[in-house]
Amino acid sequence: MSVRAFFFMITFSIIILFFGCNTRVSSCSLTNDEAISEIGKIKRLLSERSPFMNINKVRVLDSLDSLIMNLQKIDKIDKYEFSFKLKGVFAELGDRHFWLEYIGECENENKYHLPFSLAPWKDSAAIALVKKNKIAYSFFLKNFPFLTRINSQKIKEFIDQNDLENKYAPKFSKQTLGVEKLNEFYKIKQGLNVDDQMKFTFTSWDFKSDTVLFLNLVKSRNKWQDIDSYLSFDKDDDRIKKMLFRRYKDRIAYIKVPEMYSYLKDKEYFQWLKQILDIARTTNALIIDIRNNRGGNRDLIDFFSDYLIAPKKFRVANLARYRGEISDDTKKDLNSRKLFPYSYFKDPESKQAIDSYMENFHPLVETSETLYSEYHYMVINSKKNTDSYYYGNPVYILTNEMTFSAASVFASSFKGLKNVKIAGICADGSSGMSKTYELKNSEIKVTFSHMLSYQKNGELFDGIGISPDIEIHRSINQILGYEDHQLETLLENINRHSSIEN
């Protein structure tokens, strides 16, 4: 090879490398015109398919217009930053099932955390903790347990400003989810690094005095977990099964349901559940604990209907309308949620239950007849099943602010029955059949609901939740992992009520 040819190849390689690098850099960002074009696609997508866009169109469009105005002031925007800003737009839908993430290769992997863990406390405070072991915690500052400000900003204001995804969640869900984000600080506050210093204000027990510390962000994660929130059914683990079912000496049965299991995928769970309900048959009261249950399948609603619905009784537990035309796949998705059109029901009992219910049904959110499907109904009843029985004694469904999706539908389905009460904290209600779309240019994946789902009282699930009949909040010792205050308080309430009746 000649010297001239060799230098030509070297020069050509450098040019290719230079332009290749530039291409990789530019692929991580969008010009303002490209970003605005993506916003146009999003606007069309939401207008055509999101029922929550129909409800909250003004505030969504205002948020989009504000983002466009800011984009017009710059030449380009990082794709990851663009996705972060879009979360604020989608939050305005009020759709609790929306999810948006950047899926490209340019994601900022810079993760940083607070040097302590946080747990939610009452309306607007957070408790700073350090982990002692898997299930127990101690105070970060014993005499100043409450973190009340970050960089001089009140915790509630900080969460309101930075956790846009949960802007319209029910009050206690919004606080807890915001505090959960604080435990992974990089998810709620961008542009920082490990070892960056932050100003933290901690407040005394009586909220009368403060102490201020300047602390560095750390690499390792410190995250608080609620008591027993880590439990999951394991057919081979007797220790776990004993924690999921207990029978107290005062003849109260307790069942913890960690997730909304499926008949098809979790056959062994349902076999076990039937066995323990046979044991619970002779008890005086039943507690079904769905705290921290993030949802799944509705099969458990169908299963418990055989025990909680009186014989020959039919009940409309949920109704929904789908945005757009119903394809075969959509029909399957609706049916998997036990939702069917009126024409599906052939028995007179179901039809009568629907007819009677609809006479007094007044949806708090009206829908267009041309944009939505007919109503689909979930009718529950006690089937003629010799393997089950009607449990007519008091039933308490224990919820908290992390009870979500199908678990919140479970609570709503049985709320209002004469022997059923909801206890705990208002559930983070959500019920929306979601679908996922990908914006290829910005490398963003977005999921949002396609149906409006109503509770029995005409309210939507999203943003409202299911309020308890008996409100019970965590104690300090429950947050530390030393007791289950909510459960123990409920047990005391049941025993007290039982002794009064006797």
Please indicate, yes or no, if residue 112 is contained in any of the structural domains.
no
Structural domain boundaries, residue 312: 238-443+450-501
Q: How many domains does the chain have?
A: 3
Q: Are 290 and 420 contained in the same domain?
A: yes
Q: Are 169 and 263 contained in the same domain?
A: no
The predicted structure's pLDDT at residue 490: 98
The predicted structure's pLDDT at residue 383: 76
The predicted structure's pLDDT at residue 25: 38
- In 27-162, at which residue ranges do the beta strands (DSSP E only) sit? 29-31, 76-78, 99-102, 117-121, 125-131, 137-139, 146-150, 153-154
Cα separations in angstroms, 80 against 29, 85, 383, 445: 8, 9, 51, 12
Please indicate, yes or no, if residue 221 is contained in any of the structural domains.
no
Q: Are 462 and 494 contained in the same domain?
A: yes
Look at residues 101, 129, 158 and tell me which one is the last residue of a structural domain: 101
111 backbone dihedrals φ, ψ, rounded to 5°: -110, 135
Q: Are 209 and 160 contained in the same domain?
A: yes
Please indicate, yes or no, if residue 9 is contained in any of the structural domains.
no
CATH number at residue 251: 3.90.226.10
Q: Are 206 and 170 contained in the same domain?
A: yes
Residue with tokens 């507690």: 287
Q: Are 132 and 92 contained in the same domain?
A: no
Q: Are 285 and 339 contained in the same domain?
A: yes
Eight-state DSSP code of residue 345: -
What the block records as the tokens of 436 is 């996922």
- Asked if 442 and 79 count as a contact pair (C-beta separation under 8 A), the reply is yes
Please indicate, yes or no, if residue 203 is contained in any of the structural domains.
yes
Please indicate, yes or no, if residue 230 is contained in any of the structural domains.
no
Q: Are 83 and 154 contained in the same domain?
A: no
Please indicate, yes or no, if residue 107 is contained in any of the structural domains.
no
Look at residues 43, 73, 101 and tell me which one is the last residue of a structural domain: 101
The predicted structure's pLDDT at residue 2: 54
Q: Which residues of the chain have pLDDT under 70?
A: 1-26, 108-109, 384-386, 498-502
Please indicate, yes or no, if residue 4 is contained in any of the structural domains.
no
- Asked if 159 and 178 count as a contact pair (C-beta separation under 8 A), the reply is yes
- Asked if 379 and 354 count as a contact pair (C-beta separation under 8 A), the reply is yes
- Asked if 100 and 445 count as a contact pair (C-beta separation under 8 A), the reply is yes
The predicted structure's pLDDT at residue 4: 53
Q: Are 45 and 149 contained in the same domain?
A: no
Q: Are 260 and 339 contained in the same domain?
A: yes
The predicted structure's pLDDT at residue 261: 97
End-to-end CA distance of the chain: 104
Q: Is 426 helix (H, G, I), strand (E, B) or coil?
A: coil
Considering only CA atoms, which of 195, 191, 194, 183 is closest in space to residue 140?
Answer: 183
The predicted structure's pLDDT at residue 378: 98
Q: Are 60 and 183 contained in the same domain?
A: no
Q: Are 137 and 271 contained in the same domain?
A: no
Look at residues 75, 101, 127 and tell me which one is the last residue of a structural domain: 101
The predicted structure's pLDDT at residue 429: 87
Considering only CA atoms, which of 405, 392, 423 is closest in space to residue 461?
Answer: 405
The predicted structure's pLDDT at residue 499: 55
Cα separations in angstroms, 78 against 27, 123, 194, 388: 9, 36, 21, 58
CA 500 to chain centre: 38
Structure pTM?
Answer: 0.91
Please indicate, yes or no, if residue 431 is contained in any of the structural domains.
yes
Considering only CA atoms, which of 420, 367, 374 is closest in space to residue 398?
Answer: 420
